[in-house]
Structure 1
Amino acid sequence: MTAAVTRLRSALEALPEPVRDAIEAASAQQGTDGVHESGVSPTDVLTPLVAHLTELHEHGEVPARDLDSGPSRELADRYRRLAVAVQSFTQRITPVRALVPDRALISGDFGAAAQLAAAIDEKMFGKKKRRAAFDAALSDLVVDPSLVAPERVADLAADVARARQEMNDLTDQLNSLLVSSPHFGRGCLDEALPMDLHKEASTLDAIADSIEAQARFARDHAPLREMIARHGVGYSDIAAIREFDQAWVQARAVLDISPERLGRWAGNAPWLSRVRETAPRWADELAAGGGGVARRTAEMMRSLAPLVQVGLDKAVDVLLSGGIDPVETTVALRRGLAEASVSERSAVFGLIGFDPILRDGDVEEFDRAALRIREEAPNALAARLLDARPFRSDRLTGEVAELSRQLNAKRGGLSFRRLMERYGDAVTSATPCLFVSPTSLATFVPADGPLFDLVIFDEASQVTVDQAVGALGRARSAVIVGDSQQMPPSKFGSSSGGSDDDFDIDSDAEVVPADLDSILTECVESGLPRLWLSWHYRSQDERLIAFSNTQYYEGELSSLPSPAGNPMPGSSSDASPVTSIARFPDNGRTERRQGSATASRPDCAPTLSRPRRLSTTSSSG
């Protein structure tokens, strides 16, 4: 900061006084919003000034009387068009110029030579004399007479006549255009002429550019032009002008200066006047090791930078202008964020102009549609399952027909286990979903029987590992749903697997760790992928789940509160509130689960849409 302020002070002192006056005059101009138009940087003034001084240095100053009467770009375009025409002409007549020298092309009498060529064979006598006269005339017209036979002279004369006519037209255009040019009098057979005409056109463009630039500068920056004429500011001052511009840009970045803040700080005075007054004092304070206004301003702007980064520029401006008491800043910010959030959410969810009658109608329509879906779902699901069967109920053959006869037998039928052993594939194709307990599944479905696509454990916190192993071995994949905050399965009456005394520490046998409380805990500890189910919807009164949510689920459950916190209709309004709940310790905190029905519905839906084999186990049987 010290370097930036010191540089600005030095640049101001080195800046020519007339230039300082011009920038100060521009900085005094007010925009339509009351903000100084050139507040951010004097570049708005200095850039055209530097460009104009450079223009004067490279091309000289155009007198004011010539700003509107100098050569135009149309003249340069005429030079280019004529250069192209001359070059094209010289290329087209190249075959003619290979036979005819330029002097003969300009003034040679090819008509007389053509008459002599035609008269050679007119009479029997005197052919040699006529041929000699023809050869003499032709030798003055072509480079090599042996290349032109008498019968070709007429065609050559026609080519020369056409070229001569076009050449004369181009010569008239050249003389008209180049009447005041050093190129006047050059003919179109001059091969260097097209290039010279292009150069002349470029020179005219540069002159036109200079005239336009100076005319524009005189029109848009009359005070600067007058300053240059009166005080003699020239090309040698450009270095000082650029140094001040760069020093101001650096100071602006260090102090985080915006047009609004600069205008507010300058008040009614031109901002450059204020800078000229304060920059020396700031530099002295910083050089002395003190903070001063400049350092305190920079620190304040850095503290406000996070607000600017998130788009709260108006809040920053209000703070800087004193519109908010600094003590109330936090409260005002929160109030503004709350009001903005309410406005944004109201717009997103259509709450602006909310009509309760229309919304009640939408809710009733949704309820009716949902009721129709629930009534139709059993029929649609049954129809989908029937369509997915590999057989038709009215045309049973093979293994399915044998299974049907066994099921319809009055006596002597096979047990369920024997049916699964013999007709397992037929049973699962007819009923792809089985709802059994883990024990029943292990009892009635053989281990080498049909393999299910998916097994779903509901209330998995109540299923021990040994109970779950049989079901896991009969499926390709598993979904384990449970709540680790529930009481673990009771071990009352179960046999002990032995004590620590049964193991020999020095033995080489592998030590197998004991199973955890439930299959849910075992899976969580094994690091299997987990999905958190956070919505709770079973409590008609939110207070029923509030304690558990706070004490056991770390407040991460999303429950549906009762309207306005009142008890649901039908509940007793004078019921005694719950005053104490005993909290039982959890043996090994594992994954949190709430609402097993939420898990079973979405996870079963994909399988039922492609019914194959599905087993659902429940600890309740």
Structure 2
Amino acid sequence: MLSLLERWQEVRSALPKSYRDEAIATAPIAAWTAERSEAQGRSFLTRGGALKKLRAAITSQIGQGGETPENDLEKLAELASLHRQMAEIAGRLPDGTPWKGHGTSVQSLQAAITGGEALRASMLRLGDAGHDIVTLRAALRLRLCEGRDLLEPGGATDRASADLRAGLDSFIAAEADWHGLTVPAGQTPELQPLEQVIASTAAVADRVRRLNAWCGWVSARRDAEEKGLGALARALETGTLEHEGTVEVFRTAYCRWAAPELIDASPLLRRFSATTHAADISDFRKLDAAFAGLTAAYVRARLSGEIPDRQTTADPGLGVLARQLQRGARAAPVRQLVKEMGTSLTRLTPCLMMSPLSVAQFLPAESELFDLVVFDEASQITVPDAIGAIARGQRSIIVGDPKQMPPTNFFSRDAGDDDGDGMIMADLESILDEALAARVPLHRLTGHYRSRHESLIAFSNYAYYEGQLVTYPSADTRDTAVRLERVEGVYARGKGCNNPQEAQSVVAELVAHLKDPARRHLSIGVVTLNTEQQRLVENLLDEARRSDPSLEKYFGPKVSEPVFVKNLETVQGDQRDVILISICYGPTEPGAQTISMNFGPLNQKGGGG
């Protein structure tokens, strides 16, 4: 109705005021429009007379308009249509409405509609609160229609509404005081149901003795907000942040804020360019590789220059070698050849890389061929194996880590050797332990470069190296690069000494890694805590390779860092981007709540290294 009235008044204002509104509704406007069209279609000789006749008809019925009232027919037709629509709606309106025909005030009509919509919305809210809408509608009709006299100033309804208003104002004032005590300054209070407000205030009243602590928190929270720490206080209040981590979170946030300021204050950091820095790193790597290659070529050339010419030399050792080469398959054994060549061997090959067993097998015990004997991974070499090599040199350098696993016969035993408790023979003494006990001059290397994330070495550095290892910063911002994946497996103690379920999970994860486009560029290896688990993982992996030939490209000598499966003894010195460690040991029955605290070689001295 409101939109029709507004349009009617808009159109009516564009027409002459002399038109009679009541006549417009009944005027034959459609016939006039047809007559206008017929007149305009005539020749100019008769057109004027026809239009003059039409104007006279319009003026006589609706009043004097302008000189060409026929041009108002479209607007008159719209007025007539609006009149009929409003009359139809008005016929359905109840008594007492502010509708007074065309002269109704738009403002009064708008106020009545707004009031009615507000009343309807209030009634619907009451219905949502559990009241019967039909009963509410009947009660409102009784008081607002039939009992309109009660709405007059001073009436019962007027007095009741005044009391309600006063009570509401008092409640709003009390609520404002409550929000002032419980809501931080500058923060908009949340709307709460009345029942929740009652419960909250009752809880406060029941905890009077704890109000002092609460007020202390509110005071501290306000101080924090005034100092720009409102987000931290809200995180504590909502439980998003545990109070134990408050200091660390604050320190981290402060560092994130301070870092740009400190960078801007340093000309060196301010002018830092990642592109230039990356280019410098690339250039350094190229120059370093070139220098290493040049050094190797220089050493080789220098040593090659000391080799005598085989055509002119009278060296008896080289003569022995030449005769043995001529004999071919009938050549003397290696040990005899080395003995007969004497020092000529080291003139041809100044550096030999041999295992302790090879030294004992091929080098005569009475010869002192070498100026220097170097033991690498000396923590894995027993004293009896090392003595023979030391005797064949003039000086020795023993390189190793006393915190690593010492030599043990654990990995050479058969699965049936397990006595049921998982006990193994005692560890053997290494040549490194003997050298340390003898107080041989010691030089410790503290730089640790292998671990690409601090968490990989943090525990060992703390528990075994007394924090003396120097690690390098990592660009990886994860809290830790170590993850535990629990498998509901069963350890076959005394039988296979393996854990089939865990082995299957390890192989499944390895295959998923190799087939994942986002991860397969990272090299990967598997380490087991005993030989039996290693064999089981290797067998399952072989089956996976046979069923999926696409995995073969990650294995074999042609790959720079192929996939490997090793045990703790054989993995010494190997490194990959990702290492899967199969613990193997665990419950011996499904669902068992306890396990034997035997973890193979890890239970022995030095096993934690």
TM-score by shorter chain over 0.5:
no
Structure possessing the higher relative contact order (Cα contacts under 8 Å, 6 or more residues apart): 1
The TM tier, using the shorter chain, reads: 0.3 to 0.5
State the TM-score, normalizing by the size of structure 1: 0.33
TM-score of the two chains, using structure 2 as the length reference = 0.33
